[in-house]
Structure 1
Amino acid sequence: MKKIVQTLLLAILITACKNEPKQESTVVDEVKQDQIITSIYPESITKVFNAHGGIDTWNKMQTLSFSIEKPTGIEKTVKNLMTRAELIDTPTYTQGFDGETLWVNEKDGNAYRGKPQFYKGLMFYFYGMPFVFGDDGVEYKEIEPLVFEGKTYPGILISYEAGVGESSDDQYKIFYDAETGQMEWLAYTVTFGKPEGSPDFHFIRYNNWQTVNGLVLPKSIDWYNYENNLPTEKRNTVEFTDILLSEKAPDQAIFTMPEGAKVID
C-alpha cells in the first residue's frame, strides 16, 4: 500500500512539473519579440540610428523644442513627437497644427506670405535626422556612396509609400561615416506643389552634433550649393538653440487655434 501511495505521489509530481510554465520560455519569447522589432530596419540604417543613440530611445521621447535665429527674430518650434502636433512661434506670426487643423495667427498686422503647408514640420524634419527616417511607410535602398574632398560616405536612399506624408514623391539620401555610422550628409528633393518628382537633390552637411538626453542631434547644419547632384561649397549655416527633448508630452492646449487665427486648407 505504501508503494502504491508513493507511486501516485510521484505521478502527480511529474504531471505538475509538465504543466508548470517554464520561466525561460518567457525570456526566449521576449528576445524573439525584440529581434522582430529590430529586424524591420535594414542593417545600414540601424547602424546610423545606433550611432545617434538608438531608435528605441528616440521613440520614448514625446516633446521636442528648439529655436532658430531668423532675420525677423527668434523662431521657436515645439513638437509633439507622438501626434506630430506643432507650434511655430515667431515675432510676426504663429503657425500651429493640432494634429488635424493647420492654422496661422498673424501678429500686429503683419501679413503672413509664406506657405504654411510646406513649412509645417520642415525644420523639425531637418532637425530630427536621422530618426525621422524610422517612421512608418519608409523604404530603404543602399546606393552609390558620396565622395567629397577625398572621403567616401556610404549611402542610403529613402523613399515613401504612396500617400505617406504631404509629399510622398520626395526622396532623400543619407550619407554616413563608414566607421562610426554617424550621419554626415543629407540630399533631398523638393516636390511639394509639383505634379511629379524632382530630379534635383539639395545638400545639407551634418557635421556639428550635440548629445541631448542620450541622443546625438544637430547643433547646426550647413546648406551647400550643388552641381550635377553633388555638393560643391557651403552656402549658409542654421544653428539650433534652446533644445528640449523630453519623455513628457507637451500640453495639447498650446496647439489649439486661438481666436482670430486663419484656418489653412
Structure 2
Amino acid sequence: SGYERPELHPYLENVRATHNLYGEPSDQRTAWLPPEAVQSPNPEVLYWVGCAASYKKQQIARAMVKILNAAKVPYRILGAEEWCTGAPLARMGYQEVTKKELMPHNVQAVEETGAKVLVTACAECYRAFARDYKAWGGNPPFSVFHISHYVEKLIREKRIAFTKPLPQKVAFHDACHMSRVSKVFEPPRQALKFIRDLKVLEILPHHQDALCSGAGGGFPAVFPEQAAAVAQRRLDAAEDTGAPSLVTTCPHAELHFEDVASKRNMTLSIVDLAEMLANAL
C-alpha cells in the first residue's frame, strides 16, 4: 500500500540507533566471544555473525567459532562495525534505507578486512550478501558462503572431519531465504549427511513447496496470532516425522519456533545447522 506499519517502525529506529534489530548496545555485539576465538590480522574468512546470533542465539556464534577453529581457518569478526544487513528491514518496506545506509557500510567494512570470503550461518544475512546486495548494485568484492556451503568446501579440502557420531533423528526445515529465494536446497542437507549416524527426515511439504515459519517481514509484530498459527502448522508437521528436534538455517525462524513451541508446551527442540555440525566435532 505504501503506508508504513507503526508496529514495524521500532525496528527501523533500533537499526539506525544501534545497528541491530533489537536496540542492544553495539559495543556488546561480541559479548558472546569465547576465549578460544582468536582473530587473525590476515583473515582468510570474515565470519558474519548477524543480529540474531550476536544477541539472541549466541550458541550459534560459538558453534561457528568451534567449526572455524577446528578447520584452522584464519578469521575475523567485525564486532561493532558489523551492522544489520538490513535484509529484515527491506522485507518490512524499508528497502531504500537498506540500500543507502546499511549496504555501503557493510560491504566496505568486510572489504577492509582483506578477507576474500564471507561466511555466515544466517539464512537472511546470506540472502542479503549473495542476492540482494548484488541486485542493488552493492557488488561485494568477496565470495559469500553459507556455513553449509563452506563446510562442504572444508571437507573437500580435507581441513575438517566430523568424527563424533550423533545417533538421532532430526526434522529439517527449509528456510525461505535459503530455499525458495536463493535456490539453495541441497547444501544444508548435504552438510547434515557429513554427521555420522544422524538421520535427517523431511518435513512435509519440503524443498520448493516448504511452508514458511511465519517469522519474516515483521509478520509476528503486526499479526502475532496469524504468525503463531503459521509456525504451529510447521511445528506440527515436524512432530509428525517422529524426530525430537527440528533443524534449520534461519535464526529468526528458530526464535519464532521456540517462542511458539514454549507457549504450547511442545517438547520439540529447535537447533541450528551450525550447532549440529559443532556437536559432531
TM-score, normalized by length of structure 1?
Answer: 0.23
Structure with higher helix content: 2
TM-score, normalized by length of structure 2?
Answer: 0.22
Structure with higher strand content: 1
